Structure 1
Amino acid sequence: MKAMSFALFLFTINLFAQVKFEKGYFIDNQNQKVECLIKNKDWIGTPTEIEYKLSDTSQSNTILLENINEFRIDETNHYYRRYKVLIDKNTDVPTDHFVEGAYFLRIILEGKVSLLEYPQDGLLFYEIEKGKAKQLKYKKYVDTDAKVREDNSFRKELFENLKCDNITFEKALNLKYEKRELIKFFETYNKCQNADYENLNKHKTTGKFNLKALAGINFNKNIVPNVNFVIGGGTDEKKFNPESSAQSSIALGLELEVLLPFNKNKWAIILSPTFSTYKSSSSKTYYNAMGAYYTITSPSSGGTPVTVYSTYDFRLDTEYSYSYIELPIGIRRYFYLNENSKWFVDGSYGMIFHAKKPVEKIDFEKIRTSNIEPDDIEIKTSSAVKLGLGYTFKDKYSVALNYYVSKTLSNSSGNSFSLLVSYNFL
């Protein structure tokens, strides 16, 4: 439930994130070309609409993709054109199921012969004659004998239609149905034909890695031991929980950040092994905490047994000490302020591994009574769920405030905060 709430939180913030308007154009259904600034959301698939401005100072407008034939954002890989094609999306069965329709295809490489893609399904097409695209046939399926089969008909298609001295039968025969290899193949053909071409894929947002050193402080004042002390028995039984007087501690670690290859690297996966310590101690006296009935015989009662009620006091002393490695994995969302600054929110869940055996001590001072027994104490699974808010400068220096929605250290749990600074080595 907490994970779902955080995902909704990220989605809500994403709706208000700032994205740049960049130079480009679109061609409407009346074949009118409109030079403009288009809001670049760095789409994974094909968008359903685009937002644009005619100038930096003008208001933005939105146009549905169904009302345009082509659009492009300069110096990016976002170049789309509508084609009427036969398309077969059933690539996991041996039989063909071509359906005719109008689809927006992304232009990967444009030249005398162009390479195109239907992003939603990763299907590849090629264009020899302007405005006419044909799907490159490739299928991978399991046959009736439970064997994996491949239909690489696209190799024969390209070899027969793209004749060139530099394209041998062997080269075509070993061609893989991968964008990287097909881009090289189409570059070879266009060079062979002395034709100008443009590789749009070189502008694609690529994944990146960051490795950061972390240092900071944990504020663990809200974490308390989860141990009940049972006094008495039967209907007279009472339970008490020890209090906590936790102190701040140092945290040291590393963070591996994987920036995902879309949406201008605004999303990242993070893994942050961090070493920390935690100590807690308490001492409290409970006065008149429990009563009991005693039967006594006294001279004043003439030797007749009399039942009296007596109260008693006791004190609980506890000491908890942990040295542990937290291993959280999570997701982060960046929001750019300018070229040098950005802030981020993240959320993570991680297991906690104890670097050495935890110290979990309980001492009792019995005051006028007996029958004080603690619950059995054993080392339990430890984990943490946290949310973070931070700021990054020049992709090198960061500061983050983390709130632990839940943090369990064996027999202690609760909420806490941490303040971390980091430096990126890469």
Structure 2
Amino acid sequence: MKKMLFYVAVFLATINCYSQIEFEKGYFIKNNNERVECLIKNEDWDNNPLKFKYKLNHGASKIFNTIESVKEFGVYNFSKYIRGNVDIDQSSDETSELDGSRKPILKKETLFLKVLVEGTSNLYRYKRGNLKRFFYSNKEKSIKPLIYKRYLNSKHNANLSSFNGSIVNKNLNRNFIYVNERYKQQLFKNLTCKTISLKEIEKLRYKKQSLSKFFIKYNKCSGYLIDGQYEKGTKDVFKVSLKGGVRNTTLDIDNSSSFLPSISFDSKTTYKIGVEGEYFLPFNKNKWSLFVEPTFQFFSAKKELPFAFLVEKKIIVETNYKSIEVPIGIKRYFFLNDVSKMFIGGSVVLDFNFDSYLRYTRTDGTILKDFNIKTGNSIGFHIGYVYKNNYSLELTYQNNRDFLTTHSNISSKYSTMSITIGYTF
């Protein structure tokens, strides 16, 4: 454990040395329309920000800028935000909190809206927790909300049409959930072009990808699209890695409530091999990921102990433990440069053992006590280094797993420290 803390300290010190790489070339426009070129801390915001950090150059101090003093800011070739005083629907989209009104609950707010598509008509997105809303502007007109609202309605015989915004999704406590999809009517009325059919608009989903494709197509049809200005951002990515390594294992058996002796086996080095599936979350520049890593591991040991209750005054304790571990956890990455990064993480480790036992025998081989192994879960701590997104080196510590959970008069502490190398496909 002391070694683990040492490595974490070194790692955090390294992170501090490289923190400046998060500032990237960007700009902001003040209220008086003055444009300032600068370096902006690119946090790849999941929720729309109200402020941001910037530097005038690499050697300058960090400064905060807020929505009150900035009307626009952006990180080049990545993202752009526009300040708007807009009507935003405050209605909840959570099924348990739906109301019975088809009308949106509109409230004026000053927000930084993320530019998704820019051209003759612009598409914007706003997100705050579970609240997700889209907006648009057409030519020189003001920014307007695209209306979408789920609501409850008990009238089963509603007269529905293509654009009246009411379609039945499912039954909920004898009330139906309807959807006001007026955004389709808004787009049909205000964004007409010969290459866009009514059928295409009817199929539009109130999702970023669906709406972005529509606005890109409309702007191309209109002959005006600002290439490269719509959202770049980070994408969700799933990767698979082959992993193998060695681990140092310790096992302590506490048999204090039984006549059988307790034992601490000598630490032992074994191997492990596994496959990791990792899903990178689509925000904050893919710095966060969820992972699952099924891994085969084993531990076997045999030790002779003095035992006064037998004629031969000796007892043999033997264990053979094999299992598939399944760590499920989260990682946080820290970029060091263009080709390397480090991470820390934590996991809950599920364990599925097979053909495993703990056995007490006499010196002639007679079995005194045979314990079937039934493992519990444990916690894993991870720290690692990744090079070129393909090669990885990882240090993992797992603490005090009990593999005798079904026996009340005996317990075990199974702990491991492992070093793993990996290759990502």
Q: What TM-score range do you get, normalising by the shorter chain?
A: 0.7 to 0.9
Q: In 1, Cα distance between the equivalents of 2:369 and 2:25?
A: 69
Alignment of 1:275-314 (within 5 A): 275-285=296-306, 314=313
- The aligned counterpart of 2:142 is 132
Residues 148 and 183 of structure 2 are in contact (CA less than 8 Å); yes or no, is this contact kept in structure 1? Answer: yes
Alignment of 1:244-283 (within 5 A): 244-283=265-304
| Cα shift at 1:169 | 2.5
Say whether residues 1:390 and 2:392 are aligned partners.
no
Q: In 1, Cα distance between the equivalents of 2:107 and 2:14?
A: 36
Say whether residues 1:88 and 2:89 are aligned partners.
yes
| Cα shift at 1:194 | 1.7
Alignment of 1:276-425 (within 5 A): 276-285=297-306, 314-354=313-353, 356-364=354-362, 377-410=371-404, 412-425=412-425
Q: In 1, Cα distance between the equivalents of 2:243 and 2:15?
A: 30
Q: In 1, Cα distance between the equivalents of 2:204 and 2:226?
A: 20
Residues 358 and 373 of structure 2 are in contact (CA less than 8 Å); yes or no, is this contact kept in structure 1? Answer: no
For structure 1, list consecutive stretches of 5 or more residues without a partner in the other structure.
1-8, 232-238, 291-311, 367-372
| Cα shift at 1:199 | 5.6
| Cα shift at 1:135 | 0.6
Residue by residue over 1:354-397, the C-alpha shift from the partner in whole angstroms, topping out at 9 and shown as x without a partner, is 2x32132102479xxxxxx9888343233331111111111121
- The aligned counterpart of 2:40 is 38
Q: In 1, Cα distance between the equivalents of 2:214 and 2:389?
A: 36
Q: TM-score, length-normalised on structure 1? A: 0.81
Residues 407 and 416 of structure 1 are in contact (CA less than 8 Å); yes or no, is this contact kept in structure 2? Answer: no
Residues 245 and 281 of structure 1 are in contact (CA less than 8 Å); yes or no, is this contact kept in structure 2? Answer: no
Residues 187 and 197 of structure 1 are in contact (CA less than 8 Å); yes or no, is this contact kept in structure 2? Answer: no
Q: In 2, Cα distance between the equivalents of 1:263 and 1:96?
A: 30
Q: In 1, Cα distance between the equivalents of 2:82 and 2:28?
A: 10
- Tell me how large the CA RMSD over aligned residues is: 2.8
Structure 1 14/146 Cα, relative in aligned 2: closer, same or farther at 3 Å? farther
Residues 44 and 119 of structure 1 are in contact (CA less than 8 Å); yes or no, is this contact kept in structure 2? Answer: yes
For structure 2, list consecutive stretches of 5 or more residues without a partner in the other structure.
1-8, 155-173, 405-410
Q: Percent identity?
A: 29
> What SS does the aligned partner of 2:68 have?
helix
Q: In 2, Cα distance between the equivalents of 1:414 and 1:202?
A: 49
- The aligned counterpart of 1:305 is none
Alignment of 1:214-233 (within 5 A): 214-220=243-249, 222-228=250-256, 230-231=258-259
| Cα shift at 1:115 | 0.6
Structure 1 324/243 Cα, relative in aligned 2: closer, same or farther at 3 Å? same
Alignment of 1:25-104 (within 5 A): 25-77=27-79, 79-90=80-91, 91=93, 92-93=98-99, 94-104=102-112
> What SS does the aligned partner of 1:382 have?
coil
> What SS does the aligned partner of 2:266 have?
coil
Q: In 1, Cα distance between the equivalents of 2:106 and 2:252?
A: 64
Residue by residue over 1:66-123, the C-alpha shift from the partner in whole angstroms, topping out at 9 and shown as x without a partner, is 221111111002x111111122121544233211222221111111111111122220
Q: In 2, Cα distance between the equivalents of 1:359 and 1:331?
A: 32
Residues 376 and 402 of structure 2 are in contact (CA less than 8 Å); yes or no, is this contact kept in structure 1? Answer: yes
| Cα shift at 1:48 | 2.9
Q: In 2, Cα distance between the equivalents of 1:112 and 1:389?
A: 48
| Cα shift at 1:152 | 1.0
- The aligned counterpart of 1:122 is 132
| Cα shift at 1:56 | 2.6
> What SS does the aligned partner of 2:209 have?
helix
Q: In 2, Cα distance between the equivalents of 1:150 and 1:43?
A: 28
Q: In 2, Cα distance between the equivalents of 1:15 and 1:29?
A: 36
| Cα shift at 1:189 | 2.1
| Cα shift at 1:228 | 4.2
- The aligned counterpart of 2:170 is none
| Cα shift at 1:193 | 2.0
Structure 1 194/129 Cα, relative in aligned 2: closer, same or farther at 3 Å? closer
Residues 224 and 243 of structure 1 are in contact (CA less than 8 Å); yes or no, is this contact kept in structure 2? Answer: yes
Structure 1 362/376 Cα, relative in aligned 2: closer, same or farther at 3 Å? closer
Structure 1 376/252 Cα, relative in aligned 2: closer, same or farther at 3 Å? closer
Q: In 2, Cα distance between the equivalents of 1:34 and 1:182?
A: 31
Residue by residue over 1:295-348, the C-alpha shift from the partner in whole angstroms, topping out at 9 and shown as x without a partner, is xxxxxxxxxxxxxxxxx9943321001121111111111111111121111111
| Cα shift at 1:192 | 2.4
Q: In 2, Cα distance between the equivalents of 1:64 and 1:13?
A: 30
Residues 215 and 251 of structure 1 are in contact (CA less than 8 Å); yes or no, is this contact kept in structure 2? Answer: yes
Residue by residue over 1:231-261, the C-alpha shift from the partner in whole angstroms, topping out at 9 and shown as x without a partner, is 4xxxxxxx74123234221111111121221
Q: In 2, Cα distance between the equivalents of 1:156 and 1:261?
A: 30
Say whether residues 1:158 and 2:179 are aligned partners.
no
Q: In 2, Cα distance between the equivalents of 1:204 and 1:150?
A: 29
